[in-house]
A and B are shown apart, each in its own frame.
Chain A
């Protein structure tokens, strides 16, 4: 760590793997001239420009929003675009693909198992009033306190850093993992949702919620402060009290009708037509 930021040369140790030519990954070194303010992503671009154009990684927004550039940097799963090189080291930097996911090429991990598990926990609003969901007549009631119950968990960008840092994921492929479980809680605790029972079945499977034993690493590495570990423990608490029959039956939020005597502002455009066929 440097107190006084000066440009210097940093050796990037990059874990490479080409599925067409390599049997297993190997480490390659590149010396990069680093200026203060440069991110790891900038360093990788410099390697691509000046040393080896074949280096592959995934990125898009460059500002910690899209969640594409998650990788293992100096042993910690984080976003390359969100990490300044001189914050970590002024000598050596090790960069590898996110562990616990298969490597497609170089620093590109195959995140598809995470997305499949994410879908499995039903991460969307489940309610009986399908007609109201499709043709809304008003808004569902939600107080600011209701919003705070789940707001933190909506910031997930699905970068996969939590899955890479989870010690249970390290030995159990089938474990649902912190990202999907946090999203299961995000919808379950939403007062507009009525799908607790269905989602409970989805998360209390053999490799589900109760396989988490609080390593805390998912929350420590999350670049967006989502805190999946907290979501998982709060969901356990919810299910525990539910098991003891100590929870009140939750009635999903009702529809707030449109206020009477108020005209629709003509400047507000009508919603666009459906792009998919409705049931």
Chain B
């Protein structure tokens, strides 16, 4: 039998964001992964920075001096915002992934109403809360550091 080649058509990491018109929950899925990686990176950097204390007071103060640069302060706020999103979306995901927020199986009648519609209020609610907390945090963060 003639064997013809197949062309690989996997979306890959680029497909998380591009190559399609995706729904609200899929973007939350992607943002959850990105913020998770961001927080992990911060955690590793944090260990690296605080470990500089063992090298003496001078090294410690030099490192802290660098960290007072506005770029790092903005980065710190980004970590705070990422944490807020990741924590709240994580609670939403725990509720969903253990089957508590997806509703019961029902006979599909057109127009179909899926578990995505059932959990949508929860998804919107936690994001509204995340935005509020991020704004409150921004006000306190930049006022305290600015003033």
Pair B114/A230 contact, Cβ less than 8 Å: yes
Question: B26 interface residue, CB < 8 Å from A?
Answer: yes
Q: A97-B9, A152-B108 are in contact. Are A217 and B23 (CB under 8 A)?
A: yes
With beta carbons under 8 angstroms apart, the residue of A77, A104, A153, A220 that contacts B105 is A153
Question: A25 interface residue, CB < 8 Å from B?
Answer: yes
Pair B16/A167 contact, Cβ less than 8 Å: yes
Binds B, one of A41-49, A200-208, A221-229, A261-269: A221-229
Near B by CB (< 8 A), chain A positions 121-147 give: none
A1 CB to nearest chain B CB (Å): 13
**Which residues of chain A have C-beta atoms less than 8 A from B136's C-beta?**
none
Pair A167/B105 contact, Cβ less than 8 Å: no
Pair B32/A213 contact, Cβ less than 8 Å: yes
Question: B70 interface residue, CB < 8 Å from A?
Answer: no
**Which residues of chain B have C-beta atoms less than 8 A from A240's C-beta?**
98-99
Question: A29 interface residue, CB < 8 Å from B?
Answer: no
Binds B, one of A2-10, A31-39, A68-76, A249-257: A68-76
Question: A219 interface residue, CB < 8 Å from B?
Answer: yes
Question: A195 interface residue, CB < 8 Å from B?
Answer: no
Pair B115/A216 contact, Cβ less than 8 Å: yes
Q: In which size bucket is the chain B interface?
A: 35 or more
Pair B15/A167 contact, Cβ less than 8 Å: yes
Residue in B closest to A173 when the chains form the complex, CB atoms: B10
Pair B15/A230 contact, Cβ less than 8 Å: no
The number of chain A residues with a CB under 8 A from chain B is 56
Near B by CB (< 8 A), chain A positions 54-89 give: 72, 74-77
A165 CB to nearest chain B CB (Å): 7
Pair B105/A19 contact, Cβ less than 8 Å: no
Residue in B closest to A223 when the chains form the complex, CB atoms: B112
Pair A230/B25 contact, Cβ less than 8 Å: no
Question: A198 interface residue, CB < 8 Å from B?
Answer: no
With beta carbons under 8 angstroms apart, the residue of B5, B29, B106 that contacts A19 is B5
- Contacts A152-B107, A220-B25 given; 9 further ones with Cβ under 8 A? A97-B9, A99-B19, A104-B6, A148-B105, A214-B25, A224-B112, A233-B96, A234-B105, A236-B98
Q: Which residues of B contact A (CB under 8 A)?
A: 4-13, 15-16, 19-23, 25-26, 29-30, 32, 93, 96-100, 102-110, 112, 114-116, 118-119
